[in-house]
Structure 1
């Protein structure tokens, strides 16, 4: 991004100096980064796909995704494939029931998958089968034939089985927060007041995000070879239900939007910079496009259906990418030394703030359980906001909004935290250094892996 003020120039300089210091501490990681580059490069062959039968089936899959998008505005999150397919889809009169039937027929035509075979061609077959099965499930639901059930929805749409958890198991986290933030008001109110003191002033938002995103990008580029001319446009918006969003446009270009209509606390700068940009959604989509769409000519990766197993990998890797780019105490240190001064905030209590927010983050799994109980009919609608307020410490307004999110998106809530755990398990399995973790992470972002093929 372009720097527009002296403060921004200063922020970029501080980021640069910090990264130089990190270079000295991570010499071994830097040497191993070459292996990461080679791993990603190996995903890109010298020639296009020669499997015309699979390519034909893949194109039919893309057509079905685009046509189902006619019935669900949220379904097609990104598409940068052939314009002709989009045009044909826009003219389609197929109903969700029609699409269900066509999807089931296409599933029967796909070649079999060998379980445990991690070869790229077998992973492609598994990807198409699993994504297509999720499409059929979603189309079936839109046609009115899929009763709500949290576990079945998670399995059908996201290719996973999230754990059930007793809400009482989260009480120790709440007890620790009670000690950190004593008082007579409801704990959710105390957390809200505490967070308010760490909000980024509106006139400092740009400079803080410039510095945070640049740091995320520099740390990612150390280990992952980003495509040439990759870039994004950063916009600030209002009146959105989310804090940030990445709209991938193809050609290694994204539109990243940050919702300034919601309070943005200092920790969200790094979180959003990594999650939406580097090494999160922007990086994931750019690497998939480079390795699989342009490298292999696999058209199925030019479309991203939101309610699909790919979302668990996308959201999980974007959240895990924060910890990968800023391991251990590095995030807190960077915020204290760089972002707090740029935001005009006092860094002395930064460590306490990070501890509070880490506990609140762990309570996100309680949100999964509340969503499960609500979808499965174990609790009534009017109980949901109250439970979100008690166990996830949301404000009353945020808790009501979260209930609306569950009404609209159902089991999608698991993709952020459960997805992060599954990605972490994959990346850290057998990894003994930060560089090795980056290597496995880059391999994941450049491959057709889905939740059920993470062990292959």
Structure 2
């Protein structure tokens, strides 16, 4: 594979981002390449389709071809091509969404009923338990910083974290998300944590480990060190949202917490949360989260209801409140996320990525480390589930 093909791929991603802001999640490649694209004419949608199709004809079956297929789908949607929601998701990420039978949620509710104290409605008991586990607002920032340091120390036993690697931590307000890691390149990431929304001790651990170590920051830094610097893989300098890269990245982020919390590191990390004033029972929280996890597929059903079954927002909100046990405000957030043109397919990456990456990490020797350090393909994940 020649460098020119890889450079064309990077240019295609950067050019698509000029038409659909957010296509590029992060770019740490040659600045002159980005400057060249920025200085050029605004590309037409059909021209972008043609660029993607030309690359597909030249690329062998490979990780890079999977990526270009996602960009081809993005360019086609921009050009007005008509696809079902399920086809659009499959085109981006290489996995097709399907309906989860409500019996899955009923079983999860039964497990939760046994785990949660009280006898009232399940959603109210879950919310009451969460309120009892909130990290005090004045302790969130110090707890997050301490958890990051400890998680980084333990992650160093899973993969090599090179000298100079690290994160710049910021606390933000008035944003729609809980946390965000913007990879800056040169082994650095900027991690932003939303302090407007209260978090339980377990939610804080999950969020921080997802965004930093051994989640997003660990993955991007390891791949920059090993694949970009070590092997000269220019394609790893760009992270593109509408591609299989996102499904795998979010899958890594979703299973990252359990890599530490279910091992020796769990006691140390839980101790940090308890020092903040939360009476965290880590084993109970992990079991509870396992049950709640099954209910998160209700958000995928909600997206299918909205986009393929022509359901209205009120019906979908009621569905989410019943099966995912969300309050009306959080149900509204899900609906906005899966109807926003820039994010309507992205939520699928969390439950699907989690299921597939977890299966791969269990089935393949040294699987989690390989996810962090190699160009694992979605096809590899799917084969691990067979």
* Pair in the same fold by TM > 0.5: yes
Shift in alpha-carbon separation, 1:231–1:198, aligned structure 2, 3 A: same
Change (3 A) 1:358 1:449: closer
Aligned length: 379
Q: Radius of gyration: which is bigger?
A: 1
Structure 2 counterpart SS, 1:62: helix
Please identify, of 199-208 and 87-96, the stretch whose mean Cα deviation from structure 2 is larger: 87-96
Tell whether the 8 Å contact from 2:223 to 2:373 is kept in structure 1 after alignment: yes
Moved more, 410-419 or 400-409: 410-419
Q: How does 1:292-441 map onto structure 2 within 5 Å?
A: 292-327=227-262, 331=266, 333-334=267-268, 336-340=270-274, 342-347=275-280, 352-377=284-309, 379-408=311-340, 409-429=343-363, 431=365, 439-441=366-368
**Cα separation, 1, equivalents of 2:373 and 2:290:** 29
Structure 1's 138 and 385: CA in aligned 2 closer, same or farther, altered over 3 A?
same
Q: 1:232 to 1:423 in 2, by over 3 A?
A: same
Task: Report the 3-state secondary structure (helix = DSSP H, G, I; strand = E; otherwise coil) of the residue aligned with 1:258.
Answer: strand
Q: How far off its partner does 1:190 sit?
A: 3.1
- How far is the alpha carbon of 1:378 from its aligned partner? 5.1
Secondary structure in 1 matching 2:278? coil
Cross-structure match for 1:187: 122
Alignment RMSD: 2.1
Match of 1:231 among 166, 176, 180: 166
Q: Where in structure 1 are there 5+ consecutive unaligned residues?
A: 1-50, 114-125, 432-438
Q: Aligned with 1:345: secondary structure? A: coil
CA shift at 1:425, angstroms?
Answer: 1.6
TM-superposed deviation, 1:211: 2.5
Task: Report whether the alignment pairs 1:243 with 2:178.
Answer: yes
- Once the two structures are overlaid, the 10-residue window that deviates more, 361-370 or 298-307, is 361-370
| Secondary structure at 1:69 match in 2 | helix
> Which has the higher relative contact order, 1 or 2, with Cα contacts under 8 A spaced 6 or more apart?
1
1:233 counterpart SS class: strand
TM-score by length of 1: 0.78
Deviates more, 1:130-139 or 1:422-431: 422-431
CA-CA distance at 1:131 after TM superposition: 0.6
| SS of structure 1 residue aligned to 2:19 | coil
Unpaired stretches in structure 2, ≥5 consecutive residues: none
The equivalent residue for 1:131 is: 67
Pairs within 5 Å for 1:43-54: 54=2
Quote the Cα distance in structure 1 between the aligned partners of 2:4 and 2:282: 55
Q: Secondary structure of 2:108's partner?
A: helix
Instruction: Give 2:371's match in structure 1, choosing from 444, 448, 452.
Output: 444
For the 8 Å contact 1:211–1:339, the answer to whether it is kept is no
* Partner of residue 216, structure 1: 151
Does the aligned pair in 2 maintain the 1:76–1:306 contact within 8 Å? yes
User: Is the contact between residue 19 and residue 43 of structure 2 (CA under 8 Å) also seen in structure 1?
Assistant: no
TM-score, L = length of structure 2: 0.91
- Offset, 1:220: 0.9
SS of alignment partner, residue 18 of structure 2: coil
Shift of 1:236: 0.5
Aligned to 1:82: 30
**Aligned with 1:410: secondary structure?**
coil
